[in-house]
Structure 1
Amino acid sequence: MSGEGRVAVVSGGAAGIGYSIAERLAADGFIVAILTRTEGAAEQAAEEIGRGGGNARGYRADVGDRAQVDAVLARIRDDLGPLSVVVANAAVAPKRPFLETTQEEWENTLRINLTGTFNLVQAGLPDLLAAGAGRVILISSSSAQRGAPQMAAYASSKGGQLAMTKALAMEFSKQGITVNTVVPSSIDTPSVAKKRAEGQLPSAEEMSKFIPVGRMGTGADIAGAVSYLASEDASYVTGQTLSVNGGSFIG
């Protein structure tokens, strides 16, 4: 699958890992539709990518709201054409002791992270099926593999993505569609830097001591994995979990 002229949608693509993914896919030749629920953020990100020579458009939508997803994908099809790649990256990551987690917090985390993935993938799949080819790439978290204290809702939602990957890969492989998950860990993003400044996380230097490759990851590291899975080189890869973590967790 060449990126040239094909449309890729990236949810949560205005900042952090999502922005790095959008930027890389644009560099690969894709026309990238960036989704975010923050007013003006997707448009600003698309402009930045455009200044770097990439082709991107920004759209506002809350992936947890199916009506918004259906409406925004209809706009994207009208503006850019049918989808070829769907990257489900949008997520929230609340941190709260399990016994203090409210049902509202639990349901909102699953609504955005897991139901949002369902909404985006199900609404985008008809384009891929019509073409007889396409890529679905989910962005999960190492929290789903090894757990995370005070993040039961987040880890559960990300674990659901891993199971969804296996099920969809089995269901759609004969239609030319691959479905895979990238699992980041120890990635130095703006949200991580914010938590570090608030004293919730140790310094990057301290964290790097526990990572075999000796450094924290970057958004570009995750984007490189997504670029591979979106390419023709990955046409025989489906139902897989690609952990991008510097060796910090083997499993």
Structure 2
Amino acid sequence: MTGADRDSATAVVVGGSTGIGRGVADAWASAGFETHVFSRSRPAGPGADRLVWHRLDLRDADRTGAALRAGLPSRIDLVCYSAVYFTARREPFLRTDEADWDDQFAVNVHGLARTLRASLPLLRTAGPGMFLHISSEVVYNAGPQRSGYAATKAAASSLIGSVAQETDPAEVTFVQALPAGMVDSPGIRARRSPDFDYSDYMTPAAFAPLAVELARTRGVPYAGDALVVHEGGTWTPIGDGLPVSQSLSRAGSRP
């Protein structure tokens, strides 16, 4: 991509104010893309001034589609969907709060579908555009006490796979990426005790090298792949080995 092309290229990250989405947004902004972030909270901290923020609450079904259509730039080269809803703590299915269950579907599945509907026509004009979905090991491992999260992330992964099969890869490429372990983020910290040790957790910046590679290649070498991102910024195809279950591992067993 030439300097002129890069100056005119545009990226969108839904759920990009914190966590993995923020790692992707910062990487794309640093690479020279005009980067738009759609989220409930405004991005803060270093690099936030390089991001164009649009307030979006994916739990508000009546407004989400309209907000996306109104806020999306007229040209989009890259989209990342990283929005996710966690419950306050892990609980058995029969104890799951019904409102939490509905919110997980609203954000993890319906929000993704609405983002696809709004962005795909614009991505097609980029020739090819690239859509990155942040997936999870729960798609492959399920696990106890996270039925809503497992159900919604599996549905989201299948949705991406289905839409990818409907779409000419010369128009839009689809890539899914998931962390090899737990990632330190505000959402996770809200579920942990103040003295919790995060030293063995990944950081959102681990996703930056992959984000830059996908931007450079428009995802063409990875079209249709699910990639496991490791601490240190490397990645491997999911076929090379499933990540350890975060429910059954030492770190994942905590509430």
Q: TM-score, normalised by structure 2?
A: 0.79
Corresponding position of 2:47: 49
Aligned length: 229
Considering fraction of residues, name the structure with more helix: 1
The answer to whether the Cα contact below 8 Å between 1:169 and 1:180 also exists between their aligned partners in 2 is no
Name which of structure 1's ranges 14-23 and 221-230 shifts more when overlaid on structure 2. 221-230
The answer to whether the Cα contact below 8 Å between 2:61 and 2:106 also exists between their aligned partners in 1 is no
Q: What RMSD over aligned residues (CA atoms) do the two structures have, in Å?
A: 2.5
Call closer, same or farther: CA 1:174–1:188 in 2, change over 3 Å.
closer
The superposition leaves residues 194-234 of structure 1 with CA deviations (integer Å, 9 ceiling, x where unpaired) of: 433258xx6335xx3xxxxxxx3210112322332232263
The answer to whether the Cα contact below 8 Å between 2:130 and 2:218 also exists between their aligned partners in 1 is no
The answer to whether the Cα contact below 8 Å between 1:63 and 1:117 also exists between their aligned partners in 2 is no
Does structure 1 residue 179 correspond to structure 2 residue 174? yes
Question: Which of 9, 16, 20 does residue 19 from structure 2 map onto?
Answer: 16
The answer to whether the Cα contact below 8 Å between 2:129 and 2:218 also exists between their aligned partners in 1 is no
Aligned-pair distance for 1:240? Answer: 1.1
The answer to whether the Cα contact below 8 Å between 1:64 and 1:119 also exists between their aligned partners in 2 is no
Structure 2 CA distance for aligned equivalents of residues 73 and 82 of structure 1: 13
Question: Which of 121, 124, 143 does residue 129 from structure 1 map onto?
Answer: 124
Does structure 1 residue 28 correspond to structure 2 residue 22? no
The answer to whether the Cα contact below 8 Å between 2:178 and 2:227 also exists between their aligned partners in 1 is yes
Call closer, same or farther: CA 1:170–1:28 in 2, change over 3 Å.
same
Aligned-pair distance for 1:183? Answer: 0.8
Question: Which of 162, 187, 193 does residue 191 from structure 1 map onto?
Answer: 187
Corresponding position of 1:230: 215
Call closer, same or farther: CA 1:28–1:189 in 2, change over 3 Å.
same
Matched to 1:225, the amino acid is: L
The answer to whether the Cα contact below 8 Å between 1:4 and 1:28 also exists between their aligned partners in 2 is no
1:1-251 equivalent positions in 2, closer than 5 A: 3-38=6-41, 41-42=42-43, 44=44, 48-49=46-47, 51=49, 54=50, 56-65=51-60, 67-77=62-72, 80-94=73-87, 95-184=90-179, 185-197=181-193, 203-205=197-199, 208=200, 216-232=201-217, 234-245=219-230, 250-251=241-242
Aligned residue for 2:102, secondary structure, equals helix
Name which of structure 1's ranges 84-93 and 3-12 shifts more when overlaid on structure 2. 3-12
Structure 2 CA distance for aligned equivalents of residues 233 and 16 of structure 1: 22
Matched to 1:30, the amino acid is: F
Aligned-pair distance for 1:71? Answer: 3.0
Aligned-pair distance for 1:144? Answer: 1.8
Q: TM-score, normalised by structure 1?
A: 0.80
Call closer, same or farther: CA 1:183–1:193 in 2, change over 3 Å.
same
Structure 1 CA distance for aligned equivalents of residues 191 and 149 of structure 2: 16
Structure 2 CA distance for aligned equivalents of residues 104 and 189 of structure 1: 23
Structure 1 CA distance for aligned equivalents of residues 124 and 169 of structure 2: 10
Identity fraction in percent:
25
Provide structure 1 residue ranges, at least 5 long, that are not aligned to the other structure.
209-215
